């Protein structure tokens, strides 16, 4: 009431805001995706046994091509995260690199190859970039912005020279 006894238009009581419920944001989901323990791709080299020839097509591929799903709880909600290998980063160990969407394939399908020019011991490795999608409480799938790359450890590979020798019977 105003001093003159008439109602006042000014409210003197403070209004308290209702406590807000935390909101599950794409940023929180992106952080959870980035923190997943995703495996490094399995690098397969042919010929096997860590030995190849100089100036010979050495074949590289990975069998790690399937999506990986994990369910986590974020702010009390069940969130399914799915990581799919999308890009493969081939490091041949001699300074040469190649990035492909192709995981390569076993012999005789030579889709990712490299020729070593000198005899030496190299440590080729494979990095795998994952794209992701998510769904909350079984709802529709949505894309996760950004990617996550997991680098694998190198494998010992020795390139040797072969000598031609004429052998009689």
Domains of the chain as residue ranges with CATH = 26-160 (2.60.40.10)
What does the pLDDT look like over 101-128, one tens digit per residue?
Answer: 999 999 999 999 999 999 999 999 999 9
Least confident of 15-19, 22-26, 58-62: 15-19
pLDDT at 14: 54
Torsion of Cα atoms, 4 then 8 then 10 then 11, to 10°: 110
More confident residue, 10 or 103: 103
For residue 81, what are the CA distances in angstroms to 90, 95, 101, 124, 134?
26, 35, 21, 30, 5
Q: What is the pTM of this model?
A: 0.82
Residue in this structure with the two tokens 């005899």, named with its chain if needed: 119
């Amino acid at each position: 009431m105003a001093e003159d006894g008439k109602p006042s238009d000014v409210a003197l009581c403070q209004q308290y805001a209702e406590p807000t419920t935390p909101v599950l944001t794409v940023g929180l989901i992106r952080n959870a995706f980035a923190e997943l323990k995703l495996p490094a791709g399995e690098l397969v080299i042919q010929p096997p046994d860590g030995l190849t020839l100089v100036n010979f097509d050495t074949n590289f591929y990975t069998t790690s091509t399937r999506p990986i799903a994990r369910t986590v709880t974020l702010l009390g909600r069940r969130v399914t995260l799915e990581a799919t290998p999308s890009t493969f980063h081939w490091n041949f160990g001699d300074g040469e690199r190649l990035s492909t969407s192709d995981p390569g394939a076993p012999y005789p399908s030579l889709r990712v190859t490299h020729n070593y020019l000198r005899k030496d011991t190299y440590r080729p490795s494979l990095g795998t970039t994952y794209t992701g999608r998510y769904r909350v409480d079984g709802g529709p799938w949505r894309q996760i912005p950004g990617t996550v790359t997991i680098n694998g450890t190198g494998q010992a590979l020795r390139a040797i020279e072969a000598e031609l020798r004429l052998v009689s019977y």
